[in-house]
A and B are shown apart, each in its own frame.
Chain A
Protein backbone atom coordinates (compact mmCIF):
# COMPACT_ATOMS: atom_id res chain seq x y z
CA UNK A 1 0.00 0.00 0.00
CA UNK A 2 2.76 2.41 0.89
CA UNK A 3 4.53 2.33 -2.41
CA UNK A 4 1.54 2.26 -4.72
CA UNK A 5 1.24 5.49 -6.66
CA UNK A 6 -2.06 7.09 -7.50
CA UNK A 7 -2.76 9.18 -10.57
CA UNK A 8 -1.48 12.34 -8.81
CA UNK A 9 1.92 10.75 -8.39
CA UNK A 10 1.56 10.34 -4.60
CA UNK A 11 1.36 7.08 -2.78
CA UNK A 12 -1.88 6.27 -0.99
CA UNK A 13 -0.52 7.08 2.46
CA UNK A 14 0.74 10.48 1.44
CA UNK A 15 -2.45 11.40 -0.38
CA UNK A 16 -4.57 10.35 2.59
CA UNK A 17 -2.34 12.26 5.00
CA UNK A 18 -2.60 15.32 2.77
CA UNK A 19 -6.38 15.01 2.58
CA UNK A 20 -6.73 14.63 6.36
CA UNK A 21 -4.38 17.52 7.04
CA UNK A 22 -6.35 19.68 4.65
CA UNK A 23 -9.46 19.35 6.81
CA UNK A 24 -10.17 22.74 8.33
CA UNK A 25 -9.45 23.43 11.99
CA UNK A 26 -12.53 23.58 14.15
CA UNK A 27 -13.35 26.26 16.68
CA UNK A 28 -14.39 25.21 20.18
CA UNK A 29 -17.75 26.33 21.57
CA UNK A 30 -17.60 29.95 22.77
CA UNK A 31 -18.53 28.99 26.32
CA UNK A 32 -15.63 26.56 26.63
CA UNK A 33 -13.25 29.07 28.22
CA UNK A 34 -15.77 30.56 30.70
CA UNK A 35 -16.62 27.03 31.80
CA UNK A 36 -12.97 26.09 32.13
CA UNK A 37 -12.13 29.28 34.03
CA UNK A 38 -15.04 28.71 36.43
CA UNK A 39 -13.97 25.11 36.94
CA UNK A 40 -10.40 26.20 37.61
CA UNK A 41 -11.55 28.73 40.21
CA UNK A 42 -13.75 26.14 41.91
CA UNK A 43 -10.88 23.70 42.12
CA UNK A 44 -8.61 26.38 43.53
CA UNK A 45 -11.18 27.27 46.19
CA UNK A 46 -11.62 23.62 47.06
CA UNK A 47 -7.87 23.14 47.29
CA UNK A 48 -7.59 26.21 49.53
CA UNK A 49 -10.29 24.77 51.78
CA UNK A 50 -8.43 21.50 51.86
CA UNK A 51 -5.16 23.08 52.86
CA UNK A 52 -6.72 25.36 55.45
CA UNK A 53 -9.47 23.03 56.61
CA UNK A 54 -7.53 19.82 56.85
CA UNK A 55 -4.96 21.05 59.38
CA UNK A 56 -7.82 22.52 61.42
CA UNK A 57 -9.64 19.21 61.30
CA UNK A 58 -6.53 17.29 62.25
CA UNK A 59 -5.88 19.75 65.08
CA UNK A 60 -9.44 19.29 66.31
CA UNK A 61 -9.01 15.51 66.17
CA UNK A 62 -5.77 15.77 68.11
CA UNK A 63 -7.36 18.06 70.70
CA UNK A 64 -10.24 15.67 71.08
CA UNK A 65 -7.89 12.75 71.47
CA UNK A 66 -5.90 14.57 74.16
CA UNK A 67 -9.00 15.77 75.97
CA UNK A 68 -10.69 12.41 75.77
CA UNK A 69 -9.49 10.97 79.13
CA UNK A 70 -10.55 14.15 80.90
CA UNK A 71 -14.07 14.08 79.57
CA UNK A 72 -14.97 11.25 81.94
CA UNK A 73 -17.24 9.72 79.38
CA UNK A 74 -18.08 6.15 78.94
CA UNK A 75 -15.85 5.13 76.06
CA UNK A 76 -18.13 2.37 74.99
CA UNK A 77 -20.32 3.68 72.21
CA UNK A 78 -23.79 2.34 72.64
CA UNK A 79 -25.59 1.33 69.52
CA UNK A 80 -28.45 3.64 68.61
CA UNK A 81 -30.99 0.89 69.24
CA UNK A 82 -30.02 0.83 72.90
CA UNK A 83 -31.64 4.20 73.28
CA UNK A 84 -34.90 2.82 72.04
CA UNK A 85 -34.79 0.12 74.65
CA UNK A 86 -36.24 0.99 77.98
CA UNK A 87 -33.79 1.86 80.72
CA UNK A 88 -33.19 -1.23 82.81
CA UNK A 89 -33.62 -0.20 86.43
CA UNK A 90 -36.24 2.22 87.52
CA UNK A 91 -34.78 5.61 88.41
CA UNK A 92 -34.56 6.57 92.01
CA UNK A 93 -36.74 9.57 91.37
CA UNK A 94 -39.36 9.99 88.70
CA UNK A 95 -38.02 13.39 87.74
CA UNK A 96 -35.22 13.92 85.23
CA UNK A 97 -31.90 13.00 86.84
CA UNK A 98 -29.73 15.92 87.69
CA UNK A 99 -26.53 16.30 85.74
CA UNK A 100 -23.40 16.70 87.82
CA UNK A 101 -21.45 19.93 87.34
CA UNK A 102 -18.53 18.22 85.61
CA UNK A 103 -20.94 16.29 83.44
CA UNK A 104 -22.67 19.50 82.40
CA UNK A 105 -19.44 21.17 81.39
CA UNK A 106 -18.41 18.11 79.41
CA UNK A 107 -21.78 18.06 77.71
CA UNK A 108 -21.42 21.73 76.80
CA UNK A 109 -17.93 21.03 75.42
CA UNK A 110 -19.32 18.22 73.28
CA UNK A 111 -22.16 20.40 72.02
CA UNK A 112 -19.75 23.21 71.10
CA UNK A 113 -17.47 20.73 69.35
CA UNK A 114 -20.42 19.25 67.47
CA UNK A 115 -21.49 22.73 66.32
CA UNK A 116 -17.98 23.49 65.09
CA UNK A 117 -17.73 20.22 63.21
CA UNK A 118 -21.13 20.82 61.68
CA UNK A 119 -20.13 24.28 60.47
CA UNK A 120 -16.96 22.85 58.94
CA UNK A 121 -18.87 20.10 57.14
CA UNK A 122 -21.46 22.58 55.86
CA UNK A 123 -18.67 24.79 54.52
CA UNK A 124 -17.14 21.83 52.70
CA UNK A 125 -20.53 20.85 51.37
CA UNK A 126 -21.19 24.33 50.01
CA UNK A 127 -17.77 25.10 48.54
CA UNK A 128 -16.19 21.73 47.89
CA UNK A 129 -16.23 19.56 44.82
CA UNK A 130 -19.35 17.51 44.18
CA UNK A 131 -19.21 13.97 45.49
CA UNK A 132 -19.27 10.99 43.18
CA UNK A 133 -22.09 8.46 43.36
CA UNK A 134 -20.59 6.15 45.96
CA UNK A 135 -19.41 8.98 48.22
CA UNK A 136 -22.79 10.63 47.87
CA UNK A 137 -24.53 7.43 49.01
CA UNK A 138 -22.18 7.23 52.01
CA UNK A 139 -22.85 10.90 52.80
CA UNK A 140 -26.59 10.32 52.73
CA UNK A 141 -26.19 7.34 55.06
CA UNK A 142 -24.12 9.40 57.48
CA UNK A 143 -26.62 12.23 57.37
CA UNK A 144 -29.42 9.77 58.09
CA UNK A 145 -27.52 8.45 61.07
CA UNK A 146 -26.96 11.99 62.33
CA UNK A 147 -30.67 12.64 61.94
CA UNK A 148 -31.43 9.51 63.95
CA UNK A 149 -29.06 10.62 66.69
CA UNK A 150 -30.74 14.04 66.78
CA UNK A 151 -34.05 12.22 67.25
CA UNK A 152 -32.59 10.13 70.05
CA UNK A 153 -31.09 13.22 71.68
CA UNK A 154 -34.50 14.83 71.82
CA UNK A 155 -35.78 11.85 73.80
CA UNK A 156 -32.73 10.93 75.88
CA UNK A 157 -32.79 11.60 79.63
CA UNK A 158 -29.77 9.82 80.99
CA UNK A 159 -26.73 12.20 81.09
CA UNK A 160 -24.32 9.47 80.11
CA UNK A 161 -26.51 8.48 77.19
CA UNK A 162 -26.83 12.11 76.13
CA UNK A 163 -23.06 12.52 76.22
CA UNK A 164 -22.60 9.31 74.23
CA UNK A 165 -25.05 10.52 71.64
CA UNK A 166 -23.27 13.86 71.28
CA UNK A 167 -20.00 12.03 70.89
CA UNK A 168 -21.47 9.77 68.22
CA UNK A 169 -22.79 12.84 66.46
CA UNK A 170 -19.28 14.35 66.41
CA UNK A 171 -17.77 11.12 65.10
CA UNK A 172 -20.32 10.96 62.29
CA UNK A 173 -19.68 14.61 61.40
CA UNK A 174 -15.95 13.89 61.26
CA UNK A 175 -16.59 10.97 58.93
CA UNK A 176 -18.81 13.17 56.78
CA UNK A 177 -16.13 15.86 56.60
CA UNK A 178 -13.45 13.37 55.64
CA UNK A 179 -15.75 12.04 52.96
CA UNK A 180 -15.90 15.53 51.45
CA UNK A 181 -12.12 15.84 51.63
CA UNK A 182 -11.41 12.45 50.11
CA UNK A 183 -11.41 13.54 46.42
CA UNK A 184 -8.81 16.21 47.14
CA UNK A 185 -6.66 13.86 49.15
CA UNK A 186 -6.70 11.35 46.29
CA UNK A 187 -6.02 14.09 43.75
CA UNK A 188 -3.14 15.49 45.78
CA UNK A 189 -1.62 12.06 46.26
CA UNK A 190 -1.89 11.40 42.54
CA UNK A 191 -0.33 14.70 41.51
CA UNK A 192 3.42 14.25 41.86
CA UNK A 193 3.45 10.67 40.64
CA UNK A 194 1.71 11.20 37.34
CA UNK A 195 4.35 12.48 35.01
CA UNK A 196 3.81 12.81 31.33
CA UNK A 197 6.46 10.93 29.38
CA UNK A 198 7.86 12.98 26.54
Chain B
Protein backbone atom coordinates (compact mmCIF):
# COMPACT_ATOMS: atom_id res chain seq x y z
CA UNK B 1 0.00 0.00 0.00
CA UNK B 2 1.31 3.39 -0.93
CA UNK B 3 1.48 5.77 2.00
CA UNK B 4 1.31 9.45 1.26
CA UNK B 5 3.41 11.21 3.85
CA UNK B 6 2.76 14.77 2.75
CA UNK B 7 -0.02 15.40 5.24
CA UNK B 8 1.83 13.36 7.84
CA UNK B 9 4.77 15.67 7.44
CA UNK B 10 2.52 18.71 7.80
CA UNK B 11 0.96 17.26 10.89
CA UNK B 12 4.33 16.44 12.37
CA UNK B 13 5.64 19.91 11.64
CA UNK B 14 2.48 21.35 13.12
CA UNK B 15 3.18 19.52 16.32
CA UNK B 16 5.89 21.58 17.93
CA UNK B 17 6.29 19.46 21.04
CA UNK B 18 9.38 17.73 22.34
CA UNK B 19 11.33 15.59 19.87
CA UNK B 20 10.21 12.18 21.10
CA UNK B 21 6.58 13.28 21.06
CA UNK B 22 6.87 14.54 17.53
CA UNK B 23 8.41 11.26 16.49
CA UNK B 24 5.68 9.37 18.31
CA UNK B 25 3.03 11.48 16.56
CA UNK B 26 4.61 10.84 13.15
CA UNK B 27 4.78 7.14 13.87
CA UNK B 28 1.12 7.14 14.82
CA UNK B 29 0.16 8.78 11.56
CA UNK B 30 2.24 6.56 9.33
CA UNK B 31 1.24 3.43 11.17
CA UNK B 32 -2.46 4.19 10.92
CA UNK B 33 -2.85 5.64 7.45
CA UNK B 34 -6.20 6.83 6.31
CA UNK B 35 -7.64 4.40 3.81
CA UNK B 36 -7.76 7.28 1.36
CA UNK B 37 -4.02 6.75 1.05
CA UNK B 38 -4.20 3.95 -1.42
CA UNK B 39 -2.33 3.49 -4.62
CA UNK B 40 -4.67 3.57 -7.58
CA UNK B 41 -3.38 2.09 -10.79
CA UNK B 42 -2.95 4.65 -13.60
CA UNK B 43 -4.93 2.39 -15.91
CA UNK B 44 -7.91 2.44 -13.55
CA UNK B 45 -7.70 6.22 -13.25
CA UNK B 46 -7.60 6.56 -17.04
CA UNK B 47 -10.69 4.37 -17.45
CA UNK B 48 -12.37 6.32 -14.64
CA UNK B 49 -11.60 9.58 -16.44
CA UNK B 50 -13.01 8.17 -19.68
CA UNK B 51 -16.33 7.58 -17.93
CA UNK B 52 -16.11 3.78 -17.68
CA UNK B 53 -18.86 2.73 -15.26
CA UNK B 54 -17.00 -0.46 -14.29
CA UNK B 55 -13.96 1.64 -13.37
CA UNK B 56 -16.26 3.88 -11.37
CA UNK B 57 -17.49 0.88 -9.40
CA UNK B 58 -13.89 -0.26 -8.80
CA UNK B 59 -12.94 3.15 -7.48
CA UNK B 60 -16.11 3.30 -5.40
CA UNK B 61 -15.50 -0.13 -3.87
CA UNK B 62 -11.93 0.77 -3.07
CA UNK B 63 -12.78 4.01 -1.30
CA UNK B 64 -16.32 3.42 -0.08
CA UNK B 65 -15.38 2.71 3.53
CA UNK B 66 -12.97 5.61 3.79
CA UNK B 67 -15.41 8.00 2.14
CA UNK B 68 -18.38 6.78 4.17
CA UNK B 69 -16.46 6.89 7.44
CA UNK B 70 -15.23 10.41 6.75
CA UNK B 71 -18.68 11.62 5.69
CA UNK B 72 -20.27 10.00 8.74
CA UNK B 73 -17.71 11.40 11.18
CA UNK B 74 -18.04 14.90 9.74
CA UNK B 75 -21.81 15.04 9.49
CA UNK B 76 -22.72 12.85 12.45
CA UNK B 77 -25.84 11.58 10.68
CA UNK B 78 -26.24 8.59 8.41
CA UNK B 79 -28.79 10.19 6.07
CA UNK B 80 -26.65 13.29 5.58
CA UNK B 81 -23.54 11.16 5.21
CA UNK B 82 -25.24 9.12 2.47
CA UNK B 83 -25.99 12.28 0.52
CA UNK B 84 -22.42 13.45 0.96
CA UNK B 85 -21.04 10.08 -0.13
CA UNK B 86 -23.21 9.89 -3.24
CA UNK B 87 -22.68 13.50 -4.28
CA UNK B 88 -18.93 13.39 -3.79
CA UNK B 89 -18.54 10.10 -5.69
CA UNK B 90 -20.73 11.37 -8.50
CA UNK B 91 -18.76 14.60 -8.71
CA UNK B 92 -15.52 12.65 -8.73
CA UNK B 93 -16.78 10.58 -11.65
CA UNK B 94 -18.18 13.49 -13.61
CA UNK B 95 -15.18 15.73 -12.95
CA UNK B 96 -12.54 13.05 -13.19
CA UNK B 97 -10.85 14.92 -16.03
CA UNK B 98 -10.00 17.65 -13.54
CA UNK B 99 -7.76 15.21 -11.70
CA UNK B 100 -4.27 15.83 -13.07
CA UNK B 101 -2.32 13.53 -10.81
CA UNK B 102 -0.50 16.33 -9.00
CA UNK B 103 -1.70 14.88 -5.70
CA UNK B 104 -2.61 11.26 -4.93
CA UNK B 105 -6.01 10.25 -6.21
CA UNK B 106 -7.23 9.45 -2.70
CA UNK B 107 -6.33 12.93 -1.48
CA UNK B 108 -8.29 14.44 -4.37
CA UNK B 109 -11.28 12.26 -3.55
CA UNK B 110 -11.00 13.02 0.15
CA UNK B 111 -11.15 16.73 -0.60
CA UNK B 112 -14.38 16.17 -2.52
CA UNK B 113 -15.89 14.20 0.37
CA UNK B 114 -14.95 16.93 2.87
CA UNK B 115 -16.40 19.62 0.61
CA UNK B 116 -19.63 17.71 0.09
CA UNK B 117 -20.02 16.87 3.77
CA UNK B 118 -19.61 20.53 4.71
CA UNK B 119 -22.00 21.54 1.94
CA UNK B 120 -24.58 19.08 3.25
CA UNK B 121 -24.16 20.45 6.76
CA UNK B 122 -24.56 24.01 5.54
CA UNK B 123 -27.60 23.01 3.53
CA UNK B 124 -29.13 20.86 6.18
CA UNK B 125 -28.41 22.90 9.26
CA UNK B 126 -28.11 26.59 8.77
CA UNK B 127 -26.50 27.16 12.13
CA UNK B 128 -23.41 25.07 11.68
CA UNK B 129 -21.45 27.34 13.98
CA UNK B 130 -22.65 26.92 17.50
CA UNK B 131 -21.47 28.98 20.39
CA UNK B 132 -20.07 27.03 23.28
CA UNK B 133 -21.12 27.76 26.77
CA UNK B 134 -17.96 29.18 28.31
CA UNK B 135 -19.11 28.12 31.77
CA UNK B 136 -18.83 24.48 30.84
CA UNK B 137 -15.34 23.62 31.94
CA UNK B 138 -13.93 20.20 32.61
CA UNK B 139 -11.16 19.28 34.92
CA UNK B 140 -8.15 20.03 32.74
CA UNK B 141 -5.81 18.26 35.13
CA UNK B 142 -7.59 14.93 34.94
CA UNK B 143 -6.22 12.30 32.52
CA UNK B 144 -7.86 12.50 29.09
CA UNK B 145 -11.01 10.38 29.36
CA UNK B 146 -10.70 9.18 25.75
CA UNK B 147 -7.84 7.00 26.92
CA UNK B 148 -10.31 5.06 29.03
CA UNK B 149 -13.44 5.32 26.91
CA UNK B 150 -14.38 2.56 24.50
CA UNK B 151 -14.98 3.23 20.80
CA UNK B 152 -18.77 3.33 21.14
CA UNK B 153 -18.63 5.94 23.91
CA UNK B 154 -16.16 8.06 21.98
CA UNK B 155 -18.30 7.77 18.87
CA UNK B 156 -21.40 8.86 20.79
CA UNK B 157 -19.59 11.79 22.37
CA UNK B 158 -18.24 12.85 18.99
CA UNK B 159 -21.73 12.89 17.54
CA UNK B 160 -22.95 15.07 20.40
CA UNK B 161 -20.48 17.82 19.60
CA UNK B 162 -21.75 20.81 17.65
CA UNK B 163 -21.19 20.36 13.92
CA UNK B 164 -18.38 22.85 13.50
CA UNK B 165 -16.53 21.55 16.53
CA UNK B 166 -16.79 17.96 15.37
CA UNK B 167 -15.63 18.81 11.87
CA UNK B 168 -12.65 20.83 13.11
CA UNK B 169 -11.69 18.12 15.59
CA UNK B 170 -11.81 15.38 12.97
CA UNK B 171 -10.10 17.30 10.20
CA UNK B 172 -7.30 18.38 12.49
CA UNK B 173 -6.61 15.20 14.40
CA UNK B 174 -7.49 12.48 11.94
CA UNK B 175 -7.21 13.94 8.46
CA UNK B 176 -4.15 16.04 9.31
CA UNK B 177 -5.56 19.35 8.09
CA UNK B 178 -3.72 22.44 9.29
CA UNK B 179 -5.59 25.30 10.94
CA UNK B 180 -5.09 27.30 7.76
CA UNK B 181 -6.72 24.56 5.67
CA UNK B 182 -9.60 24.24 8.12
CA UNK B 183 -10.09 28.01 8.15
CA UNK B 184 -10.26 27.95 4.33
CA UNK B 185 -12.89 25.22 4.42
CA UNK B 186 -15.08 27.30 6.71
CA UNK B 187 -14.23 30.66 5.19
CA UNK B 188 -13.12 31.83 8.62
CA UNK B 189 -9.89 32.80 10.34
CA UNK B 190 -7.34 30.43 11.83
CA UNK B 191 -8.33 31.76 15.26
CA UNK B 192 -11.77 30.29 14.64
CA UNK B 193 -10.26 26.91 13.89
CA UNK B 194 -8.00 27.00 16.94
CA UNK B 195 -10.74 28.09 19.31
CA UNK B 196 -13.18 25.50 17.94
CA UNK B 197 -10.54 22.81 18.42
CA UNK B 198 -9.75 23.84 21.98
CA UNK B 199 -13.40 24.05 22.92
CA UNK B 200 -14.27 20.81 21.15
CA UNK B 201 -11.51 19.03 23.06
CA UNK B 202 -12.77 20.41 26.35
CA UNK B 203 -16.36 19.50 25.48
CA UNK B 204 -15.38 16.01 24.46
CA UNK B 205 -13.66 15.59 27.77
CA UNK B 206 -16.81 16.70 29.59
CA UNK B 207 -19.00 14.39 27.57
CA UNK B 208 -16.77 11.41 28.21
CA UNK B 209 -16.21 11.84 31.93
CA UNK B 210 -19.59 10.33 32.95
CA UNK B 211 -18.87 7.39 30.70
CA UNK B 212 -15.67 6.43 32.44
CA UNK B 213 -16.38 7.24 36.05
CA UNK B 214 -17.81 4.49 38.12
CA UNK B 215 -18.97 6.43 41.12
CA UNK B 216 -22.66 7.26 40.72
CA UNK B 217 -22.41 10.48 42.77
CA UNK B 218 -20.38 12.19 40.03
CA UNK B 219 -22.73 11.49 37.13
CA UNK B 220 -25.15 14.20 38.12
CA UNK B 221 -22.51 16.85 38.36
CA UNK B 222 -21.58 16.92 34.71
CA UNK B 223 -23.39 18.82 32.06
CA UNK B 224 -24.36 17.23 28.81
CA UNK B 225 -25.29 18.78 25.49
Which chain A residues have a beta carbon within 8 Å of chain B's beta carbons? 1-3, 6-8, 10-29, 32-33, 35-37, 39-41, 43, 191, 194-196, 198
Contacts and interface: CB of A to CB of B under 8 A. Distances in A.
B24 interface: yes
Contacts of A11: 17, 21
A121 B88 CA distance: 31
B201 to A, nearest CB: 6
A15 B98 CA distance: 37
- Classify the interface of chain B: helix, strand, loop or mixed: helix
Contact of A19 (B82, B107, B111, B147): B147
Interface string B153-169: 01100100000000001
Nearest to B99: A196
B123 interface: no
A198 B170 contact: no
A133 B107 CA distance: 35
Interface in B10-45: 15-18, 21, 24-25, 28, 32, 35
A23 B154 contact: yes
A77 B169 CA distance: 63
Contacts of A7: 143
Contacts of B15: 2, 13-14
Interface stretch (B56-64, B125-133, B215-223): B56-64
Given A16-B146, A26-B72, A33 B64 contact: yes
29 contacts: A3-B17, A6-B143, A7-B143, A12-B144, A12-B201, A13-B25, A14-B24, A16-B146, A16-B201, A17-B174, A19-B144, A19-B146, A19-B154, A20-B169, A20-B173, A23-B73, A23-B158, A24-B151, A27-B68, A29-B82, A32-B86, A36-B86, A36-B90, A37-B53, A39-B90, A40-B90, A43-B90, A195-B98, A196-B112
B149 interface: yes
B66 interface: yes
A33 B82 contact: no
Given A11-B17, A22-B151, 6 more contacts: A12-B201, A14-B17, A23-B154, A25-B35, A40-B53, A194-B95
Given A3-B17, A13-B15, A33 B90 contact: no
Contacts of A19: 144, 146-147, 149, 154
**Which 10 residue pairs are nearest across A and B when measured between Cβ atoms?**
A28-B68, A19-B146, A17-B173, A198-B103, A25-B69, A26-B69, A25-B65, A21-B32, A20-B174, A14-B25
Contacts of B143: 6-7
Interface string B72-109: 11000010001001100110011100100011000110
Interface size bucket, B side?
35 or more
B198 interface: yes
A2 B64 contact: no
Given A25-B35, A39-B90, A18 B28 contact: yes
Nearest to A31: B82
User: Could you say which of A28, A39, A194 has the most chain B C-beta atoms within 10 Å of its C-beta?
Assistant: A28
B94 to A, nearest CB: 8
A110 to B, nearest CB: 40
Given A16-B204, A36-B90, A27 B95 contact: no
Contacts of B204: 16
A42 B73 CA distance: 29
B86 A191 contact: no
Contacts of B108: 196, 198
A24 B155 CA distance: 10
B21 A20 contact: no
Contacts of B147: 6, 8, 15, 19
B161 to A, nearest CB: 12
